Amino acid sequence: MASQNKPLLFIFVFLLFGSLSVLAQYSPSYACDIDKNPSLKNYAFCNKSLDVKTRVDDLVKRMSLQEKAGSIVSVADSIDRLGIPHYGWWSEALHGVSDTGPATWFNKTIVPGATSYPVVILTAASFNVSLFNILGKVVSNEARAMYNTGVAGLTFWSPNVNIFRDPRWGRGQETPGEDPLLSSIFGVAYVKGLQDRDDGDKDRLKIGACCKHYTAYDLDNWTSVDRFHFNAIITKQDLEDTYNPPFKSCVLDGNVASIMCSFNQINGIPTCGDKELLEDTVRGEWKLNGYISSDCDSLIIMFKDQRWAKTPEEVTADALIAGLDLNCGDSLKNFTENAVKRGLVNESVVDRAVTNNFATLMRLGFFDGHPSKQMYGNLGKKDICTKANQELARETARQGIVLLKNNLGSLPLRPTNIKSLAVIGPNANATKAMIGNYAGIPCKYTSPLQAFSESVQTVFESGCENVLCNVTSYFEKARSIAAAADAVVLVMGTDLSVEAEGLDRMDIVLPGQQNLLVSQVAYAAKGPVILVIMSGGGMDVSFAKRNPKVTSILWVGFPGQEGGAAMADVIFGRYNPGGRLPMTWYPRSYLMSVPMDNMNMRPDPSTGHPGRSYRFYRGETVYPFGYGLSYSLYVHRLIKAPKTVSIPLNNSSSTIDSIDATDDVCNGLTFDVNMMVTNIGKMSGSHSILLFSNPPPVIHNSPTKQLVDFKRIKLSPWERTSVSFKIDVCKQLSVVDEDGKWKVPLGKHGLQIGDVEHSVSLKI
């Protein structure tokens, strides 16, 4: 794939107190270096006081077709005569700055690592919007610091906001889960955290984010189907109310600088060649202010794997005309000139692509001279892996961790009561496994074993050679240490050898002989047995849920570099867990009822497809979406909510069962739901309040339940607080019909918060 664009290395030799020391310093890449080339001063595109449009138009006008073609690929050519250096577009910052993209890299002497936060699915479990935003800010500080140091670009292809539709997907860990609203809210808050400047200048960007992979991409490699060949058959209804909302929100509410189209086809058309999806929707309807990139080598895949056209020039023309601006790979560089010469695409389309890319770089300050003289110019190595940033990694994991089971008297463990803790399992001393997919090099790791050992005496036995756990020869040792200890923590689950990019799961139970290890250890143990599941996706752990000797179950996602510390905080009661599952945990039998390549969200009685996600699936679950316990108990009471809401429409025809959500009458129609929430437990804690609606079944195939809003609050013991939600009738109570149109169904809408239920009648 794309090769590395190594910045220039300047070596300064100093004679220092008689000894020779060598200081190596990298330099960030930027255009319009007037000190080096004073004649650049006369170019309007280098003039900071002009607006971006004027500058970019001036630049594009000066470029040859060949130079343009070289500017629309991930490793963009330099244009020396115009003072423009190479630029590597591909960097990643999904949960900390990553070296997955070749434009960012770590080096022991320059920047050895960056703070590695939990994978997104665990962060999403916190349901804490301000946390999502703060993470974006902290990650962009480290990203910009790395750019200033010469080891990163300015454009980061994160976050991944695909819907985690099927529990088998190997990349579910990268996403905020299965719910379109949570995914949208995470996407917007994180994108704004990454991009927005502290001076509030909306035209400029701190770093550029990218919402990917547009759209309906959530199958990597399952049986004989892989993402490069997959033709996802998607209904208009599912596209509009499930797959597209996070992308739409990224653009409309997050003002994201980029959207990346996915590898797969949708209804027979590769997304990167689909004008309706790109040019008409993302740019036309949503008004993207930025560039559309392809996934890496998408165009080669369109040509070779999908046989989309007879020549690479035709693929190039199709993609450009569809709205693509940048290609991860080099197809657009190789084939654009010939595509134009053969009349397959007009140069004006190429100009649009070049303009969108360079306009983004201008908003990032790339054309404004040396970065040290710009805002964020003082960020450097000292701002990476700071104590505060690493503490936030621990705090994020604590906020996300989900308590799934807790028999009376099990958790939290009191360190003073535990003379010896047996720590067992293939992830019990995990390090790299904790940082998951799209990670970089962390500042350091705090493994579970290390963190537990700081609180109590531990005895360790991994029990399995690795997470695949296919030999039982270590089980006896595990049983014997469990029998001798006051309590047992089993850290089981997966790592990237089981679920990853390019690797979907064939099963959703703990791998290999892990269940057997858990059962044997639980049987042998004399004290509480805490089962910790480290995984991206959900697990059928019914056997442990049912087993009274497994006294507690925790899910910790892939909890990031400080994962062990966060787990210890929860297990020893220094933090009261408040995370909620952002995805349904299905029973294993679910896999038999629907093949992974069936993209329908809605159930289909004719095939036995039971529907997907809590919005449509009504079958049995191991743990449902939104599930999560606390060491405290919270009670909810409804204080105020209307019983009826009237829509001021001059049309009392009783035949109407819904109105268009886009209708003018719909604008600004809101009502309040006020709750009183009390912590009746003995510990203070953070509690997430999830508000669901049950739309009336007026529109065919509506979800039976859908998340409308959520809030996370903190409460001390016996503290109570009122929580209010403002419901925008047309935005939050609308559903999508079979033509993909948003409608507000009239009639009874149920509202549900915890065990409180209320209904509101919508009338004309």
Ligand X SMILES: *[C@@H]1O[C@H](CO)[C@@H](O)[C@H](O)[C@H]1NC(C)=O
Minimum gap (Å) between residue 732 Cβ and ligand X: 21
User: In this structure, are residues 24 and 109 in contact, taking their beta carbons and an 8 Å threshold?
Assistant: yes
Which backbone phi and psi does 737 adopt, to 5 degrees? -90, -175
Q: Using alpha carbons, list the distances in angstroms from residue 623 to 103, 315, 318, 540, 592.
A: 41, 45, 45, 9, 18
Nearer residue to ligand X within complex by CB, 298 or 547: 298
Active-site residue flag, 297: no
- Please, where are the H alpha helices in 642-692? none
Measured at the CA of 67, the angle between CA 64 and CA 70, to 5 degrees, comes to 155
Across the chain, how many H-helices and E-strands are there? 20, 29
Between CA 550 and CA 539 the distance in angstroms is: 16
126: tokens are: 């916190």
User: In this structure, are residues 449 and 428 in contact, taking their beta carbons and an 8 Å threshold?
Assistant: yes
Which residue is associated with the tokens 């790339």?
A: 366
Minimum gap (Å) between residue 564 Cβ and ligand X: 10
Minimum gap (Å) between residue 743 Cβ and ligand X: 12
- Please, where are the H alpha helices in 164-289? 180-195, 236-238, 245-252
Minimum gap (Å) between residue 449 Cβ and ligand X: 6
Between CA 726 and CA 216 the distance in angstroms is: 30
Minimum gap (Å) between residue 589 Cβ and ligand X: 23
Between CA 312 and CA 295 the distance in angstroms is: 16
Q: Please report the DSSP string for 8-57 in residue order.
A: PEEEEEEEETTEEEEEEEE----S--TTT-GGGGG-GGG-TTS-HHHHHH
Neighbours of 135 (CB within 10 A): 28
The b-or-e profile of 673-686 (16+ CB within 10 A means b, else e) is: bebebbbebebbbb
Burial class (CB in 10 A: 0-12, 13-18, 19+), 649: middle
Nearer residue to ligand X within complex by CB, 346 or 542: 346
3-state secondary structure of 305: helix
Between CA 256 and CA 106 the distance in angstroms is: 26
Q: Using alpha carbons, list the distances in angstroms from residue 332 to 56, 60, 317, 339, 497.
A: 20, 17, 9, 10, 34
Nearer residue to ligand X within complex by CB, 474 or 694: 474
Which backbone phi and psi does 532 adopt, to 5 degrees? -110, 125
Nearer residue to ligand X within complex by CB, 483 or 665: 665
Minimum gap (Å) between residue 251 Cβ and ligand X: 26
Measured at the CA of 600, the angle between CA 594 and CA 603, to 5 degrees, comes to 70
Residues with Cβ within 8 Å of residue 249, at least 6 apart in sequence = 184, 185, 187, 188
Minimum gap (Å) between residue 34 Cβ and ligand X: 9
Residues with Cβ within 8 Å of residue 585, at least 6 apart in sequence = 167, 538, 539, 540, 541, 621, 622, 623, 624, 627
Between CA 710 and CA 80 the distance in angstroms is: 52
Nearer residue to ligand X within complex by CB, 238 or 368: 368
Question: How does DSSP classify residue 623?
Answer: B
Nearer residue to ligand X within complex by CB, 311 or 334: 334
Minimum gap (Å) between residue 613 Cβ and ligand X: 25
The residues that touch ligand X, with contacts defined as CB under 6 A, are 9, 24, 41, 47, 49-50, 107-110, 128, 130-131, 134, 221, 226, 228, 300, 330-331, 334, 343-346, 395, 399, 429, 431, 447, 449, 460, 468, 470, 502, 650-651, 653, 655-656, 665, 686, 712-714
Nearer residue to ligand X within complex by CB, 341 or 526: 341
Which of 166, 274, 295, 318 is catalytic? The answer is: 295
SS (H, E, C) 350-381: HHHHHHHHHHHHHHCCCCCCCHHHCCCCCCCH
Minimum gap (Å) between residue 518 Cβ and ligand X: 19
Minimum gap (Å) between residue 281 Cβ and ligand X: 20
Minimum gap (Å) between residue 4 Cβ and ligand X: 12
Nearer residue to ligand X within complex by CB, 251 or 353: 353
Q: Taking Cα atoms as reference points, which of 419, 401, 629, 435 lies closest to residue 532?
A: 401
Residues with Cβ within 8 Å of residue 653, at least 6 apart in sequence = none
Measured at the CA of 485, the angle between CA 481 and CA 486, to 5 degrees, comes to 160
Nearer residue to ligand X within complex by CB, 170 or 245: 170
Nearer residue to ligand X within complex by CB, 587 or 681: 681
Nearer residue to ligand X within complex by CB, 416 or 652: 652
Nearer residue to ligand X within complex by CB, 396 or 551: 396
Minimum gap (Å) between residue 318 Cβ and ligand X: 10
User: In this structure, are residues 666 and 672 in contact, taking their beta carbons and an 8 Å threshold?
Assistant: no
Residues with Cβ within 8 Å of residue 340, at least 6 apart in sequence = 65, 346, 347, 350
Nearer residue to ligand X within complex by CB, 224 or 416: 224
Beta strands per DSSP E along 511-631: 529-534, 552-555
User: In this structure, are residues 257 and 195 in contact, taking their beta carbons and an 8 Å threshold?
Assistant: yes
Between CA 134 and CA 140 the distance in angstroms is: 10
Minimum gap (Å) between residue 211 Cβ and ligand X: 22
Between CA 197 and CA 204 the distance in angstroms is: 7
Q: Enumerate the active-site residues.
A: 295
